[in-house]
Amino acid sequence: MRYIANTLGQDIARYRTPRKALSPEWALPDQVSQMFRYEVPLWLYLVLIALICGAVYLTLDWLLGKEVAALAEQVRQLFGV
């Protein structure tokens, strides 16, 4: 039984036509993908990530600062401090 299953699987694999790619033009050209992979240094990616994280932090800090100032003013008015 195992022999039949193995030979049947081999026969199917041998006679099956290779599948065509759904969209063969999707990949980036070789030069662009190679440039992104090898010519752009790792530290540049890390600096970019650090800048994005810093911008997100500063934006959230600014937004939270506005909310805290408004809340502190409401507490001052409520308790007369």
Domain ranges in the chain are 31-81
Give which of 73, 58, 32 is closest to 81, Cα–Cα. 73
| Residue 18: pLDDT over 90 | no
Please state whether 22 falls in left (phi above 0), alpha (psi between -120 and 50) or beta. alpha
What does the pLDDT look like over 34-75, one tens digit per residue? 666 667 788 998 999 999 999 999 999 998 888 888 888 888
Q: To which residue do tokens 């081999």 refer?
A: 10
More confident residue, 30 or 49: 49
In terms of pTM, does the model score above 0.85? no
pLDDT recorded at residue 10: 86
